[in-house]
Chains A and B, each alone.
Chain A
């Protein structure tokens, strides 16, 4: 049977492009222009899903993004996407879809047993049970609940598609390209303003694609085409179909999702699947239309029950008649339009059941017409077979049909107006919520503002489009209002059929019924928010687009309050669900964050270096000589060679700040604990920097290159923080100081050359006119030099390793050449490159503080650096560093730690206990901050903080690492393990 429900002609599908697709493994045919839903209906597939809680059979309720029922899994493998609304999934050739939340099959779902148990599963039942015994929750109840819930399956593996982020700017953003949106865009565009017109669908036109209307002297469709053509011709207009404005953010920022390639099987090469935009709009017009309301009556969820407007969409736009013998259930004159279109499509209208006894409209043809009547329930199994109706006189009868078309008035799509906290306001005249407080710069046109008639939507659009851009100084030319064909929109909603039989669903997707809402009220959940949260009404993937208002009405009725008194919950972004991948864009995998490479990176790669992440940087961790050399062996070798001969290390990642001006000395005196104004030109000094709260934030060296030019270095991790801090200090605290500074971290490549032969190596590189002898260029000297025949460089005689050492800086572009030159020059001295492991070991041997110690919780006093804090002046943090707790004698103090057995592998993060002391917070003496195996001491060593540590040097305590299962006796010692007199670095 091929497309039994497809009309022979009409519709906006392209019959020249037949497409083939599968649903649950069965192959069907459709046409270009179909959605999955319209194609399924064309093939008379009515059962497409199972509900969340009761696993009830569900069909297709709507023809738009508000669909609560028809959620399917789309595509296969790594492209599988769960919970796709079949009503907006555009058909393409080869589309594969599966039904969800059923086992073993959609037609025979064992989960439907839940439906039989439904008397027990009232709203909130789980809050009242599953408590005994306590341990059963995780073991028994919860796994069962979790397995039963959850709808679609998660995708498996890496998404093969790519996503993009983009930005767009405009004077006016028009949201929705129905009659109001098109009119607004046209009016604004003719003024020359930059206009973006976005619509979630692939075609412009909105309801004009679904209802046959007349505008001026042409059909609604022709008017859409003409308007679109004009907009396309204007250079100041950008039309964005398949683009959902999903959120409204502060200051005219709109989140948008463009589905670039969801309508094809796979995106063309180099094209993204979707693109997430931030649209910056000076003004916006919301023309998102309205969503028709279903009725609440017995078994209203059975496949075949559909919104009337959706039925017209399927007929007129997709040339599909969803069901062929239809009962119209209406509280609105629009039900009659549905009847008209059904008959025009050759379907049979079994009856019009109008809930209004006083309806003035008459039914066309000879359709049975019942006023003041209701449908009590549908009958059937996986599709409606008949309905039981109650007539005005109270009598009931069974009416044969295979579908029901519901029209119960419309809800303006106010969702986006809530995103800035706006609360919709009930309007008794239209029986719906209207936008409340609007986001700045946004106005609402057409049906979204409760102006449902075509004439009104057009008038709204022209007026608001023009006024939005006039507001910005444009002059929008007047547009004459075209005539439109008459329409009848009278309605009196019926919120539920009280005499219903069977379950009456309010929220289809979450299986929330009218009695659930009554129960919530009975139990005191009277606030709309309480009711929503207790019953989960409106919390499904559709955010209650078709259910909220009926739910509120039933709550109001149960609690004796009007709709205005009950109020409404507000809608959150996104308007419709957005793929996480789209919001991440290219920031996935290695692209999650930038990777910063050091100047010697390429060279280090050539050497087979092993790299490690330090913040955004990749740094060489060690340089294995052979493939099998472990990090420990490599580190030991690198340290031994550096300490006995010479080694080189890339230290370019340290932050570098170039400071100039006559007040730099004064400035540094205020931001560093020590005094810098007295530093002579050509000298370097170590500096310690506190936060204003008295804790250390960073350390480094600052060199005075000339009278008014200084170069500060910071830690790698602290570079950005320190820069912002200094800028704060200058611009906010002391703007009167004559200084200027900028970060030059990435402008300079810098290498540390360390070891007894450091000077020998350097001599081969430094141009001969510079004297770098110990006398001419002593420890802590610095200066501008040239190397390798005139290349400008800076030389600093500073040492982190404790060896005779220099740091040499060159403009970044020479960084690669310099490392190669250093290695070449050092060859005869047996030079080795060393990585972070060796660097760290050598600084621990020397007791220098670094990352583990500068953790933001330590003071200069804690770190044994109180001598670095000048008592002669104020500086940032000085005052607060003298609070009582900071002077408390029991405070853990920085010390060295040596294991009794040198082979005991100390671990960072171990805590200290006295011998015999039981583990407790009171007995906790401190913790190990840094550890290393010291090739010099042939022992593991550590740095840490110990309560009263300085007074306890020589004591033996325990380093306990519960989480690694180790415990060692360690002796508290001075943190400087190697060359305590510092003779080597002055050599």
Chain B
């Protein structure tokens, strides 16, 4: 049923009795045209766009847990397209444009809030790096603003401008960036896909991708074998575990990244802010919690939980830019598994096995990519051609050398 002001009012008077389930709990069919492994944001978006843009209806999304149980519900909800490398800019900008129309498109309020993403810089050389990035964005028509200290002060006056170890010199602002309500993105795509006939099979674990004569034939799951003409692996941190069952080895390592939320306080931080003398990002949710994170925990892990050194480092960085939150309390911290690629940029490509596609390497930044990731993988699976904005995101770029290394840290995933 369509959501609107009228449906809300109507249901208010009916005691909320007529709301329908947002998705079905179907039994798996014997065969699908397209099968997506991974019911996170990207997998659900892939199914949504396969159905909406390419007219497929016989699609399944399988997930070993509940839908949206992975990184889409564990991230710090930042949406932006302030990238530097030409291989990334068109893709992330495409994503941001999709975000801008997403809620009306899938008729679900994901609370996309374009309140701005501000990257602080703390030295002249960092200012020049940010100018380089801002200018690269502008080359593609993506607006960026280089702000000086006073302009930054106007936006975030409560930050430490007087006594910081690494004084704030200014910042690079993308006003169109912001945040979105992470769970709602998964739910909105799931609802949109389900209503178009996509079977979302929760608690259905992929055990083995079956390949015969170089062609994919389907997937052994915890609920039996499911035939499929085409299979997309959209499994984030678990990508290599699943790809391995098809004999693929990938330039991916899985690391744990922690995320943090404070108790709710009244509005303080108006936009997303990142700290340039560390690797820290913070925003405030509509509920009032400060949502933040920093670097990986630096070791490979599938445990989805981190340790105290990472916790303390992150909070030290928080305090480095805004010591006034000293008496605000940390409410929860948790971990997620990041599919870190060897150059810090994603992969959306064929695999060399006919009918098998991968979508991985999202590193820290998968959330903002959710719509475009689904959009481009759907395009690839439907047409066997890379979408024009995703032509650089090739698997073989490590052989050819066309790497997309934003940070310039090389083939060392935990440094990206």
Contacts and interface: CB of A to CB of B under 8 A. Distances in A.
Given A253-B308, A589-B323, A612-B123, 11 more contacts: A83-B329, A132-B104, A137-B103, A142-B113, A151-B263, A159-B327, A578-B329, A587-B312, A590-B163, A692-B411, A921-B136
Interface stretch (B54-62, B140-148, B207-215): B140-148
Interface in A259-281: 276, 278
B331 interface: yes
B113 A134 contact: no
A128 B3 contact: yes
Given A157-B324, A159-B326, A250-B307, A149 B100 contact: no
Given A137-B111, A150-B266, A595-B165, A883 B308 contact: no
B347 interface: no
Interface stretch (B20-28, B228-236, B240-248, B352-360): B20-28
Interface in A696-752: 697
16 contacts: A80-B327, A122-B11, A146-B284, A157-B324, A522-B19, A530-B66, A543-B331, A583-B316, A592-B164, A592-B166, A695-B405, A885-B397, A885-B400, A909-B132, A910-B132, A963-B134
Interface string A113-156: 00000011010011111111010011000100111011111111
Interface residues on B, range: 35 or more
A961 B131 contact: yes
B267 A81 contact: no
Contact of B265 (A131, A152, A612, A919): A152
Given A154-B266, A572-B333, A584-B318, A523 B400 contact: no
A278 B309 CA distance: 10
B269 to A, nearest CB: 9
Interface of A: 52, 79-83, 119-120, 122, 125-132, 134, 137-138, 142, 145-147, 149-159, 161, 163, 165, 247, 249-250, 253, 255, 276, 278, 419-421, 515, 519, 522-527, 529-530, 533-534, 536, 540-541, 543, 572-574, 577-581, 583-585, 587-593, 595, 612-614, 691-695, 697, 851-852, 855-857, 880, 883-886, 907-911, 919-921, 923-924, 927-928, 960-964
B408 A857 contact: yes
A129 B307 contact: no
In order of increasing CB-CB distance, the 10 nearest A-B pairs are A856-B408, A909-B131, A908-B128, A150-B288, A883-B401, A885-B401, A581-B326, A524-B21, A577-B329, A159-B326
B4 A129 contact: yes
B330 A583 contact: yes
Interface string B246-289: 00000000000000001111111000000001000000101110
A154 B319 contact: no
Most B Cβ at <10 Å: residue of A580, A583, A691: A580
A577 B131 contact: no
Contacts of A963: 131, 134-135, 138, 144-146, 172
B114 A128 contact: no
A142 B17 CA distance: 27
B202 A927 contact: no
Interface string B74-118: 000000000000100110000000001101100111111111000
Main SS class of interface, A: loop
A578 B327 CA distance: 9
B139 A911 contact: yes
A278 B308 CA distance: 8
B410 A856 contact: yes
B165 A577 contact: no
Contacts of A595: 165
Interface in B300-328: 303-305, 307-308, 311-312, 315-320, 323-328
B266 A153 contact: yes
B7 interface: yes
Given A131-B103, A592-B316, A907 B401 contact: no
Contact of A541 (B13, B100, B263): B263
B30 interface: no
A149 B284 CA distance: 11
Contacts of A588: 316, 319-320, 323, 326
Contact of A909 (B130, B267, B407): B130
Contact of A590 (B20, B165, B304, B333): B165
Contacts of A247: 308, 311
A126 B3 CA distance: 10
A547 B182 CA distance: 24
Contacts, number: 360
A857 B400 CA distance: 15
B410 A159 contact: no
Nearest to A101: B266
B114 A138 contact: yes
Contacts of A125: 8
A128 B140 CA distance: 34
Nearest to A134: B104
B326 A155 contact: yes
A909 B107 contact: no
A65 to B, nearest CB: 12
Contacts of B383: none
Contacts of B124: 612, 908
Nearest to B194: A524
Interface in B167-222: 167, 172, 178, 181, 183-184, 187-188, 202
A878 to B, nearest CB: 13
A964 B328 contact: no
B307 A921 contact: no
Nearest to B331: A577
B319 A587 contact: yes
Contacts of A924: 86, 136, 139
Contacts of B12: 119-120, 122
Given A149-B286, A156-B324, A580-B329, A907 B128 contact: yes
Contact of A83 (B68, B128, B133, B263): B263
Contacts of B146: 963-964
A695 B131 contact: no
Contact of A149 (B90, B166, B288): B288
Contacts of B399: 883
Contact of A589 (B11, B101, B165, B401): B165
Nearest to B12: A119
A108 to B, nearest CB: 19
A847 B144 CA distance: 30
A851 B16 contact: no
Contacts of A159: 323-324, 326-327
A886 B399 CA distance: 11
Contacts of B202: 527
B69 interface: yes
Contact of B318 (A122, A278, A580, A919): A580
Contacts of A161: 326
Contacts of A79: 327
B122 interface: yes
A527 B68 CA distance: 11
A260 to B, nearest CB: 15
Contact of A147 (B20, B68, B267, B409): B267
B210 to A, nearest CB: 28
B312 A165 contact: yes
B402 A885 contact: yes
Contacts of B107: 131
Given A152-B265, A908-B132, A921 B324 contact: no
Contacts of A131: 3, 103-104, 107-109
B330 A584 contact: no
Given A588-B320, A884-B400, A579 B328 contact: yes
A548 B317 CA distance: 33
A587 B141 CA distance: 41
B266 A961 contact: no
A961 B135 contact: yes
Given A82-B263, A152-B265, A523 B21 contact: yes
A131 B180 CA distance: 13
A129 B319 contact: no
Contacts of A249: 307-308
